[in-house]
Amino acid sequence: MLDSWRLAMITLKSKQNYAFISLFVTFALFNSTFADGGFFPTEVQQIGNTAQSPNQRAIIIYDGVKETMIIQVKYHGNVQDFGWVVPLASLPENNSVQVESDSIFSILHDYTQPKVYLVNTSKYGRGGGGGELGNDGQEVEEVPSTQVQVWQNLAVGPYDVNIISGTSSQALKDWLKINDYAYSPKADVILDFYIQKNWYFMAIKVNIDSHKNSNNSTYQAGLPALKVTFPAFKPVFPLRISEISSAEENEIEIYVISDHRMISDSYRTYAMDRNEVDQLIKAQIAEQQSGDDTGIACTCRRVLDPLGENKLNYDYESIYRNKLSSLGSSSKTFIIENVSYGWTSFDYNQYPNSGIFKGFFDPYFDEDTDFWITRLRTILSPEEMIDDVTFIPDPKGDESLILYVFIDEYNPWNVATLGIPLLFLFPIITSKKIRQRYWKHTLIIVVALYLIGI
């Protein structure tokens, strides 16, 4: 053993072999450490639309008997002009109308959004304030002159809310005009559509006194979501009424929370194909990287940005829109982008804020049970909003759908970054003469490693 070490030191003192042995030992040690192809820290990037992009977004929570609907719409303009009418399939439960924080939408969006996982591998190896009934909690009497029944009069956060029903579109139109709601002539047909189904309406205005400092508001800037609970034969999102005042292109994002994976039975439903998304994203990457993987300029970029996060653009949104377009405008399709499951706390009392959803869905399901989250999204013109969106369990069964792309980004600088310190150890543990004589060689090797990108 001693002879072997002496022979190694003699060889080491050879000027011609010093650089070679340094590199050999560096890579030998590196290779023995990472021979199993270990994973380095993973970068995760969300791709696609933002949490704030939809014109309308909703959460539908359905337990088989009751629906809890949380809704938000974009609004630009003076708050005194704001008027929002939401049809409801049945009379809401008392005190069920509440304002809700935006945070649950953000949490759900982050949880269900398509993602790219950049894996650097080694080559070697419940919030909200409750509503209060008007007139000291008593139901409001019918107004015979307009044939409109006002069931509840509520002050909810910044909103004044009336739960109403009517026997004709003319009666409802009169009531809305009297109460300063802008009314379009084409609303008659829409109101009749709901009146014939014996639905109710939630008429919403902003309480100006509670919004004095806001002249221009969107839902991100002071107009919170609303939550309401009512009996329902099947979960439903009242989309058709949006035809009255929607823009030409409307992005609609709906989360259905239930004990099954859900599809729509009133609109076509299409589930994104994860393998197709994977191939298209990787094709985008290949196109962006082509012809740009050599040269000192590229090497420098790789040093500063080894995983390429700042270099590559993952355009999932164009993939989504192309797919929607390919299905045909006449199909009026909702695309399923995510089906996954959450769970309730196994002990509500001891762990009221458990899990990624902070216990938000605990009140709607039994303790220690799973529930399914189905995310559906579409882009519709007003003319395509021909019906409300109703949901049923997917007849194909409960199967998760998560859109993700794994990109193995071999980072050549791992060798340099981890191996270079070892190069400096050799001069340190050898004689002063060797340190003085060969420090330039070591420096040259270090620079060469960075330039050639081993």
205 touches 160 (CB < 8 A): yes
Q: In what order do the strands lie in the sheet with 262-264?
A: 236-237, 389-393, 262-264
Residue ranges for the chain with pLDDT beneath 70: 1-43, 50-53, 75-81, 119-146, 208-222, 246-247, 289-312, 329-331, 409-439, 441-443, 445-454
Q: Could you give the CA distance from residue 245 to residue 240 in angstroms, rounded to a whole number?
A: 11
What pLDDT was estimated at residue 34?
A: 35
Q: What is the pLDDT of residues 288-318, one digit of tens each?
A: 766 555 444 454 555 445 445 445 678 899 9
What pLDDT was estimated at residue 397?
A: 94
Q: Could you give the CA distance from residue 257 to residue 364 in angstroms, rounded to a whole number?
A: 10
357 touches 328 (CB < 8 A): no
What pLDDT was estimated at residue 362?
A: 93
Burial class of residue 277 in the structure, from the number of CB atoms within 10 Å of its CB (0-12 exposed, 13-18 middle, 19+ buried): buried
Both tokens of residue 366?
């039994």
Q: Could you give the CA distance from residue 445 to residue 448 in angstroms, rounded to a whole number?
A: 5
What pLDDT was estimated at residue 1?
A: 47
What pLDDT was estimated at residue 298?
A: 53
What pLDDT was estimated at residue 89?
A: 94
Q: Which residues pair with 380 in a beta bridge?
A: 250
Q: Which residues pair with 407 in a beta bridge?
A: 118
What is the separation of C-alpha 121 from the centre of its chain, rounded to a whole number of angstroms? 27
SS3 string, the chain, reads CHHHHHHHHHHHCCHHHHHHHHHHHHHHHHHHHCCCCCEEEEEEEECCCCCCCCCEEEEEEECCCEEEEEEEECCCCCHHHCEEEEEECCCCCCCCCEEECCHHHHHHHHHHCCEEEEEEECCCCCCCCECEEHHHHCCCCCEHHHCEEEEEEEEECCEEEEEEEECCHHHHHHHHHHCCCCCCCCHHHHHHHHHCCCCEEEEEEECHHHHCCCCCCCHHHCCCEEEEEEECCCCEECCHHHHHCCCCCEEEEEEEEECCCEEECCCEEEECCHHHHHHHHHHHHHHHHCCCCCCHHHHHHHHHCCCCCCCCCCCHHHHHHHHHHHCCHHHCEEEEEEEEEEECCCCCCCCCCCCCCCCCCHHHCCCCCEEEEEEEEEEECHHHCCCCEEEEECCCCCCCEECEEEEECCCCHHHHHHHHHHHHHHHHHCCHHHHHHHHHHHHHHHHHHHHHCC
429 touches 452 (CB < 8 A): no
Amino acid at 366: D
Q: What is the pLDDT of residues 223-248, one digit of tens each?
A: 788 999 999 999 999 999 888 776 67
What pLDDT was estimated at residue 247?
A: 67
